Amino acid sequence: MSEQKTVSEFFEQDHDRLDELFKTFQQLKRSDFPKATESFKAFKFGLQRHIVWEEEVLFPLWENKTGMSDSGPTPVMRNEHRQIGQLLEAIHGKVAAQNPDSDQEEQALLDILGSHNRKEERALYPAIDQVAGTEGQDAIFQSMKSIPEERYNLSCGQH
Ligand SMILES: [Fe+2]
Ligand SMILES: [Fe+2]
Q: pTM above the 0.85 mark?
A: yes
How many whole angstroms from 31 Cα to the centroid of ligand 1? Answer: 31
Ion ligand 1 contact residues with beta carbon within 5 A: 54
102-108's contacts with Cβ under 8 Å and 24+ in sequence apart are 106/22, 106/26
DSSP assignment letter at 41:
H
Q: How far apart are CA 100 and CA 108, in angstroms?
A: 15
How many whole angstroms from 43 Cα to the centroid of ligand 1? Answer: 14
In tens, the pLDDT along 30-74 reads 999 999 999 999 999 999 999 999 999 999 999 999 998 888 899
In tens, the pLDDT along 72-114 reads 899 999 999 999 999 999 999 999 999 999 999 999 999 999 9
How many whole angstroms from 77 Cα to the centroid of ligand 2? Answer: 9
> For residue 84, how far is the Cα from the chain centroid?
9
Ion ligand 2 contact residues with beta carbon within 5 A: 120
